[in-house]
Amino acid sequence: APLLGNGDKIELVIEDDQNQPEQTVSALKRMANEDKVSAVLLMSTSASALAVRSLADNIKIPVLAMLATHPDITLDNNYISQLVFDDTSQGTVAALFVMDELLLERAAVLTSPDSQHSTALTAEFIRKFQSVGGVVTDTVLLGEGNAYVDKLKELRDKKTDLLYLPVKARELIAIEKATREIDWNPEIMASDGLLATVINDYSKEVALLEGIYAIDFFASDDKSLKRSTQSRKLAKIYRSKYRDKPTSYIALGIEAYLVLHNAMNRCQEPDDRLCINQMLRNTENFEGLVGKISILENGKAKRPLIVNTIRDASARFVVKVH
């Protein structure tokens, strides 16, 4: 078992909430009250993180949300913190990249109204894109029975240069297939975690995403990276145990463990929930896998954003934004 600086062993208690908010709430109650865990690493998405905000505060247990990016996760909350950038930062970077780097001025947004993550990204991308002179040709709400081909023909006729797609991997794949069906090749910008999801769940479809851009947490081929000795050691252990290609989800797991380990080591009693929470929210310039990570007193994270493009079924580094 992994050790803390004082020699204490860290015991991992694992619950599978299936990324369902109601199950996340139940799991957090069990872990806090029955298993008496000292802190929680939450690898579910924004809906689950939002569902446990008040509970984490009520029972005073530190929760580090590893991949949830909704901007309201830390709002009016003292015990849930984010490891990653939020949707406000991500939507802003995506809009500026489209305008300043791709030099495209006409974009359409296809969004999932039932997803808080997608809705937040959509609002911020549109706000920022229009503020710098971009034109949003249309905003399309996705749902059951969407006629992608007909809608994409309309967007093409409106001289749309780029599709911004803060949607799930299966929806993006369906949209990409439809663009090929009408022989249209617009630029595409997608959101965080896309490639990791495709590799994990849709590996046979990776080739369909050739050439798209996506905001991401990591870039394996960024030669400027200077990784810590500890992170390199953990990455080596992972490669020795598993044959599958590491994704951004694996990397976030490594970072989250390292950040929590660091916080616990700075407490006189490493199982003191109050102290762990205070130390998490006092994480400053911690050496992550792609740069320094800070977690502010309000639970927000400051870390680099990566823009990747997909080439030969792998993410290729384009630019890092601090």
Between CA 194 and CA 167 the distance in angstroms is: 9
**320, 290 contact by CB (below 8 A):** yes
Query: Which pLDDT score, from 0 to 100, does residue 157 have?
Result: 98
Q: What percent of the chain has pLDDT over 90?
A: 75
pTM of the model: 0.89
3-state SS, residue 12: coil
pLDDT band at residue 96, thresholds of 50, 70 and 90?
A: very high
* Residue scoring higher pLDDT (61 or 316): 61
* Mean pLDDT for all residues in the chain: 90
With residue 316 as reference, give the H or E element that holds it. Answer: strand 314-321
CA 129, 130, 134: angle at the middle one, nearest 5?
75
pLDDT band at residue 310, thresholds of 50, 70 and 90?
A: confident
Query: Which pLDDT score, from 0 to 100, does residue 296 have?
Result: 96
pLDDT at 46 over 90: yes
pLDDT at 142 over 70: yes
Q: What percent of the chain has pLDDT over 70?
A: 90
47: burial class by Cβ within 10 Å (0-12, 13-18, 19+)? middle
pLDDT band at residue 316, thresholds of 50, 70 and 90?
A: confident
Query: Which pLDDT score, from 0 to 100, does residue 260 have?
Result: 96
Average pLDDT over residues 42-65: 96
Q: Quote the distance between the C-alpha of residue 122 and its chain's center.
A: 15
pLDDT band at residue 211, thresholds of 50, 70 and 90?
A: very high
pLDDT at 240 over 70: no
